[in-house]
Amino acid sequence: MPAMRLSWDIFCSVIDNFGDIGVCWRLARQLADERAEPVRLWVDDLAAFAQLERRLDATRDEQDLDGVYIQRWQAPFPAVQPQAVVIEAFACNPPADFLAAMAAQRPPPVWINLEYLSAEAWVEGCHALGSRHPRLPLTHHFFFPGFTAKTGGLLREADLLAARDVFQTHQGAQQQWLSALGLDAQEQTLPRVSLFCYDNPVLAELLAHWSRAQPLCLLVADGKPRRAVAEWLGEDFPPGSHVQRGQLRLIALPFLPQSDYDRLLWSCQLNFVRGEDSFVRAQWAARPMVWHIYPQEEDAHLIKLDAFLARYTEGLSTADEALVQGFWQAWNRGDGEACVRGWPALWQAQARLAEHARRWSDELAQAPDLMQALAAFASEKRQAAG
């Protein structure tokens, strides 16, 4: 059944990092660009959003960017007509007045809770299930991104992989972009690793090891990674800094817009990423990566880590599977000794791991992307409702 023309409300509550708004902003722009449909993005923290999107004016309650109508989510909530599809990102609970307005529409909007990404097996059984609201005539649908045909897929713009391939095979484009980022000709000859992580006690031990190992250029993301490197250095490390410690060249990056962050991932031999948004983009980059999963109480995140590793390492040799699993586990469990011990072999395996990362990306790309899956699901529900 072809997807019908729709309109969209997306609600985003910015928690303590940029993953929530990063996912919502990508989704909103893709809907507006590729489907040319009305999209209204409600965000409760425009100041945080403005760090991610420099064109945003955090002092304005309403504005348009890239075909998306952005509105501050605040109380009292304005009396507005809900769109045909309402997405609450990560169970952020739309306002009661808005839910009442949804219930008054005929047919009511398709109401979707866009869940967090997980590779756990139970996700397939819960994907697209509905739940009736306890008081209102509304059904709440749970939509899970994922890595299999029985989930909703991953965010991927239509031209993303073609743009990646052009960039990665065009040496001049890479040099031009790295120069604009502030790397000189000598720095561009060094092997490159990008660092985007949460606070991690292991990092200091790895930095010390890298300073004694082979030449390496570490491109450090702004925020927590940059502050952690500054603490290790024992000196200020503001954006734009270039510091040498032994064999290690450290470069403090400014906060990058999403399109430039993609190019950073495409430009490096290995990427340390965190959370959900950068984790997905690293997979589309088709480069070796190390994931710092968002820590949860009672180590629930480690179960999710194991579930993804089990899928991701399929097809690797026994030795390389052990390398990847061992280093990722050590990085996420705070085992600095194991990280330092495992790094040389992990780095030496990068050519094989790069081939594996490309295969993994190609396999994921065979499935519809998350935006397409959401549109198809919402269209089906709207048509069934008449």
Q: Is the bond into 238 cis (omega within 30 degrees of 0)?
A: no
- Tell me, yes or no, if 20 is annotated catalytic: yes
| End-to-end CA gap in the chain | 14
Parallel, antiparallel, or unpaired for β 68-72 and 248-252?
unpaired
What whole-number distance in Å separates Cα of residue 111 and Cα of residue 34? 21
DSSP label at 349?
T
What whole-number distance in Å separates Cα of residue 10 and Cα of residue 314? 35
Active site residue: 20, 88, 115, 277, which one? 20
Q: Are 286 and 252 in contact (CB under 8 A)?
A: no
107: how many CB neighbours lie within 10 A of its CB? Answer: 12
What whole-number distance in Å separates Cα of residue 337 and Cα of residue 194? 21
Supply 358's token pair.
Answer: 């490309």
Place of tokens 């990056």: 253
Instruction: Measure the CA angle with vertex 266, ends 344 and 89; round to 5°.
Output: 105
* Four-CA torsion 207, 289, 119, 263, nearest 10 degrees: 120
Active site residue: 37, 44, 115, 276, which one? 276
What whole-number distance in Å separates Cα of residue 138 and Cα of residue 131? 8
What whole-number distance in Å separates Cα of residue 39 and Cα of residue 92? 18
Helices (H) and strands (E) in the chain, counts: 16, 14
E-only strand ranges, 172-298: 192-195, 216-220, 242-245, 248-252, 270-274, 289-292
- Tell me, yes or no, if 276 is annotated catalytic: yes
116: how many CB neighbours lie within 10 A of its CB? Answer: 17
Q: Which residues are catalytic?
A: 20, 276
